[in-house]
Structure 1
Amino acid sequence: MLKRRRFKQTKTLHQRLADEAARLREEARALSPGRRREMLLRRARQDETAMQIDAWLHSPGLRAPT
């Protein structure tokens, strides 16, 4: 049976998403307008949206829908 390789994350999910979004925006800034640049900016926005969703899920005022 194969064992899963597990490792402990040293940064929080929020930090990893923020770092990735910043890296993608920096990479996109160096490119001229085009498909690759738009893809990088889209991924950066997705990371930022994921950060907002994570913050919402962990907020103390979160209530179940009624």
Structure 2
Amino acid sequence: MQRRRFKHTKTFEERLAEEAMRFKEAAEKQPAGSHARELLLKRARQAETASHINRWLSSPEMQPPKALENLLSGQE
């Protein structure tokens, strides 16, 4: 079995941003408070979080998130 290759024309971050926008647009079409709307909004937040994590991991000066930094400094 041969693996199919796919060359992406957009960056990972751009694809995540587009996915988040698609989920938000789909959520707007659902009735307020519906389970489907909440799931779509959750997926949009997950895509945005993945984008932030990717940006953090790719940064040259990788720093831990402030919340984690505050937790670690409280333990010392």
TM-score higher than 0.5? yes
Task: Report Cα offsets for 1:3-53 as digits up to 9, x if no partner.
Answer: 100111111000000001001101101110200000000000000000000
State the partner residue of 1:16.
Answer: 15
Q: 2:45 & 2:62 partners in 1: Cα distance?
A: 23
Q: Which runs of 5+ in 2 are unaligned?
A: 64-76
Structure 2 counterpart of 1:51, one-letter code? S
Structure 1 counterpart of 2:22, one-letter code? R
User: Which structure's CA Rg is the greater one?
Assistant: 2
Structure 2 counterpart of 1:57, one-letter code? L
State the partner residue of 1:32.
Answer: 31
CA RMSD of aligned residues (A): 1.0
TM-score w.r.t. length of structure 2? 0.78
Moved over 2 A (4+): none
Stretch deviating more after TM superposition (27-36 or 43-52): 27-36
* Aligned sequence identity (%): 52
